Amino acid sequence: MWTGPAIVVVKTVILLLGSGITYIAYKAYRRTGTHSLRALGIGFGVITFGALLAGIAHQILSVSLELGILINSVLVAIGLAIIMYSLYLERR
């Protein structure tokens, strides 16, 4: 079935892009000291970690696809909440 390799490819792309965004946000935070940029980087890092953890759980630990999706979804929700908080910090 082709869906297994497709999931691995998409999760790898998410990992690369998310890591890049997290790194750029961290560098911007280090340069400016802006707490909203730190929170932004943490939010994207949590989302990226969720994709990585869900992929590892499904592919290596043989966790069901449903549980992998749940793990990913919970971490995406937490990451988005942190990103929303970072935008709130920027407005203050």
pLDDT tens, position by position, 47-84: 999 988 988 887 788 888 889 889 999 999 999 999 99
> How many domains does the structure of the chain reveal?
1
- Asked if the model's pLDDT at residue 26 lies above 70, the reply is yes
Output the pTM of the full model. Answer: 0.87
Q: Which of 50, 60, 65, 62 is nearest to 11 (CA)?
A: 50
8-state DSSP, 63:
-
Domain range for residue 25? 3-91
Q: Classify residue 60 by its DSSP letter.
A: T
Computed over every residue of the chain, the mean pLDDT equals 91
Contact 33, 73 (CB under 8 A): no
